[in-house]
Amino acid sequence: MPRPFPDPQTLNPVTLPDGTPHEGTVFLAPAVKAHAKFHVGDYTYASAHVPPDDWAFCLAPYLYDFSPETLTVGRFCQIADGVTFITSSANHRYDGFSSFPFMIFTGAGAASPSRPDAGPDTVVGHDVWIGQGAKIMPGAAIGNGVIVAAGAVVIGTVPDYAVVGGNPARVLRKRFDDPTIAALLELAWWNWPIEVIVAHEVAIVGADLAALRAAAH
């Protein structure tokens, strides 16, 4: 029998054969809970070949406690090694003759004319798989069920259940037809209790829509 599914506040939810926790895999919500601008849903995990001391900084190095923008990631997302969220606070003002950030060196802060306006939030939906080395750019809005290819640079809005890749990332294909996508969004299995999700794992990973519909009633 499989062991009970780990509590979503477990920092290291994977146990190695010798009984020790795998430090290179974390449920991200407890790993970044001290960061006021980084919001993560339950059961989303991140992996790193070399576990960082600070997962929030590793994944979103320009998201500061004082940043005006936020980074929100949904439930059951999978974030591979080397993924970087380049959030809006990384931006320079570039509507004038120079993009040089004089404010950093003058200490003028918000009063500096070189300070850019506050940028948009970055939002990732539920059950999104972000492949190794992908970069998610400021203001990206990634839908539910999206797969982001390794090394992709994601800008703008990505529709639900798309597969995207390249620089800039483009939609390579949809994972399912439109009626199936609409049904999955209505079912929103990621919001079910974890014991119900685990009980219907075969249907979820095996694309058995009829079984999922039955489980929802």
- Residues catalogued as catalytic: 92
Cis link prior to 168 (omega < 30° from 0)? yes
* Residue of 42, 68, 70, 43 whose CA lies nearest to 56: 70
Alpha carbons 124 and 114: distance in angstroms, whole number: 30
Does residue 165 come out as left (phi exceeding 0), alpha (psi in the -120 to 50 range) or beta? beta
φ/ψ (deg, to 5) at 184:
-65, -40
Residue with tokens 């294909």: 173
